[in-house]
Structure 1
Amino acid sequence: MQIQSNVSLRHLNTFGLDAEARYFAGIRSVEELTALLHDPQWKDFPKFILGGGSNILLTKDIEALVIHPDIRGIEILEENDESVVLKVGAGEVWHNFVMFCVGKGYGGVENLSLIPGTVGAAPMQNIGAYGVEIKSVIESVEAVDIATGEKRVFSNTECEFGYRESIFKKALKNRYIITGAVFKLNKKPILNAAYGDVQKTLQEMGVAEPTIRDISEAIMQIRRSKLPDPAEIGNAGSFFKNPEIPLAQFDQLKETFPEMPGYPVDALTVKVPAGWLIEKAGWKGFREGNIGVHARQALVLVNYGGGTGAQIRALSEKIQASVAEKFGVRLNAEVNFI
């Protein structure tokens, strides 16, 4: 393990922002990580954990030791005719893991195809798409305490998963480094194709009885049609969470905006698409210098090249104010500001 100084993080954040790490350590095993955390030289030094950088906005240089968990590997722990349990390293690219599962016929993550980032970041955010959240397939999360270097296993319940939330973003924020996760997947999966876009795309593909590979392919087609490739245009996918508002407020808004979509969360709460609110507030396709709002998906803020995190943050705050003024709805960022 080599610790470097003044390292550009442009290649480790999907916005492509050129922030620097004061010190940087790439970690390839749990043993390397625990050794680093026990090293007296670094024990009291500020630390920052950075995976694939697919859900962060770097607004400044990182005056800390940036630890990049690059722990790889997919291991079968248990297997029978019905299911398989896999242990996966935090450094594995999430989409590569999904493709591995699809190729093996392991069902449960196909709806999460093409989501950027690493396996280690997935439980932190409780990633989700097209009717599936990662909490439905995670058995446990393995992590290391930053302060003590001690290893700990968190059960699904202990992770306290919520909508794009987990204990690692709340009570234990910045206290643990996720080193791996254990997934239980189905060999006889029940497919989830309830979303209209998925059904429509499967029909266009000529698929009447879809397999998990068909579901994965349909979702990849949808995502590619709506979302820009970070390799071409810097972005972090959905910048804002879909707000959940009281049913009474939703009904009132429907009187003024009858075309407003909404999805019941429970008897008293409705989820409204943030992208729809942003588009109707006039931001879709907006550009300001090197940054802007994507022309095909208003939920995605982009860096066309040369933009800064501070500029993108300022734009996001303008959008929040605009949506609040027009609809009385507060948008919360899904992306983490650094």
Structure 2
Amino acid sequence: MLVEKNVPLQSYNTFGIVAKARALVRIRQAQDLLSLAGIIQEQKQQAGLAPGKRLAPDLEPLVLGGGSNIVLTGDVPRLVLKMEIPGLRLMEENEAGWLVEAGAGERWHDLVRWTIEQDMPGLENMALIPGTVGAAPVQNIGAYGVELQDRLHSLDAVDLWTGRPFSLTAAQCAFGYRDSVFKHRPAGGPGPQEGDIDPATAGLGLSGRAVITRVRLWLPKPWQPVLDYLDLQRRMEQTGIQRPSPRQVFDWVVDIRRHKLPDPAVLGNAGSFFKNPTVTPEQCQDIIAREPRIVHYPMADGSFKLAAGWLIDACGWKGKMVGHAGVYEKQALVLVNLGQGEQGATGGEVMTLAKAIQTSVYERYGIRLEPEPVVV
């Protein structure tokens, strides 16, 4: 296992923020993580911790996939794990559906495109979402009415505290809106965090402890298109196609996202910066009374999801800047890096802008926007 020192991270985060990793390890197979567990045990001994106890947050390894959901506020003193495990394969097919497996280091969009090319639909609404397969369950990614939790069958991971592999089903991942067990720290005190991970109680939290190595997705037959979102409804009206094929839905989503969101290779960004907030029916009606044009969607539990980009735009933030960080002029939900390299935005400028937007939206609507990216 090769440990690289003082590695520039600018090309490893889609915001293009200049920063360095004190040490970086490329994870190309699950076995690499088993070796890493030994290093972590040595760190615990040096810190005077028992083998089953967790390291302080500033000592835990930082797992880096595609770098599309992260804001670096400075150099990273922690060990960075660059996930590069490859592999795409069909594990099983029967009359009910397809079971597909992908390595954590594969680009998510490459997986979606591959399934469409192999005539295995079901992921097309999530086309062009940036990042890697391994990061998808952490964030419970989703777009245009489909979330990863709707398609996840199971996943494999490695416990960094013990070096042992384990698997979780979708139900054991404790999915929520842009949330999962992998975003929450293990609970303190006695329990499964002091020994092997028990999948039945993994909901206690796996952040800083578990690293996903492979993901399996179940794509059901017969295929049913998900076309409830307004952008897709408009495409149906524009094209006159009322029964689009999976490839047509895929192409529509790719085209919509390319028109809405900037290419990180041209303009640094982390995609949608804020989660769409959910409110009660009463809150939604109150806002509609003041803002009849607000974009909102009913949820299965009776609540309503509001378009965060609409709220930010209504507060006048589109095109505004703090240093070299700005709000994208075509989509207020996206914060962008308006410079490059040393002359580009810093993580501090990005977060100053984000906090100013949060304050503005709260003062006008009483809604607290929650950032999607991880701030390091």
TM interval, short-chain normalised:
over 0.9
Distance 1:92 1:199 in 2: 31
Indicate if the aligned counterparts of 1:37 and 1:43 stay in contact, CA closer than 8 A.
Answer: no
CA deviations 1:193-244 (Å, max 9, x no partner) are 2222112224434534311110000001110111001111011111000111
- Say yes or no: does 1:300 pair with 2:314: no
* Equivalent in 281, 287, 297 of residue 253 of structure 1: 287
In the alignment, which residue of structure 2 is the partner of 1:138?
152
Distance 2:300 2:89 in 1: 38
Identity across matched positions, percent: 43
- Say yes or no: does 1:84 pair with 2:118: no
Distance 2:307 2:260 in 1: 14
- Say yes or no: does 1:262 pair with 2:300: no
Distance 2:302 2:144 in 1: 22
Query: Superposed, which structure 2 residues align to 1:302-317 within 5 Å?
Result: 302-305=336-339, 306-317=344-355
Per-residue deviation at 1:38?
2.1
TM-score norm. by structure 2 comes to 0.86
Aligned length: 338
In the alignment, which residue of structure 1 is the partner of 2:52?
none
Distance 2:60 2:8 in 1: 18
- SS of 1:84 mapped into structure 2: strand
Alpha-carbon spacing, 1:268–1:41, altered in 2? closer, same or farther (3 Å): closer
- SS of 2:137 mapped into structure 1: helix
In the alignment, which residue of structure 2 is the partner of 1:94?
108
- Say yes or no: does 1:36 pair with 2:50: no
Query: Where does structure 1 differ by over 3 angstroms across 4 or more consecutive aligned residues?
Result: 39-46, 202-208
In the alignment, which residue of structure 1 is the partner of 2:259?
225
Query: What are the ranges of 5 or more consecutive residues in structure 2 without an aligned counterpart?
Result: 45-58, 185-204
Indicate if the aligned counterparts of 1:57 and 1:335 stay in contact, CA closer than 8 A.
Answer: yes
In the alignment, which residue of structure 1 is the partner of 2:319?
285
In the alignment, which residue of structure 1 is the partner of 2:218?
184
Per-residue deviation at 1:80?
2.1
Q: Which has the higher mean CA deviation after the structures are superposed, 108-117 or 80-89?
A: 80-89
Indicate if the aligned counterparts of 1:107 and 1:188 stay in contact, CA closer than 8 A.
Answer: no
CA deviations 1:148-179 (Å, max 9, x no partner) are 11101011110011100010012221111111
Alpha-carbon spacing, 1:40–1:273, altered in 2? closer, same or farther (3 Å): closer
TM-score norm. by structure 1 comes to 0.96
Indicate if the aligned counterparts of 2:71 and 2:373 stay in contact, CA closer than 8 A.
Answer: yes
In the alignment, which residue of structure 1 is the partner of 2:277?
243
* Equivalent in 127, 134, 138 of residue 120 of structure 1: 134
In the alignment, which residue of structure 1 is the partner of 2:372?
334
Q: In structure 2, what residue type is equivalent to 1:59?
A: T
In the alignment, which residue of structure 2 is the partner of 1:15?
15
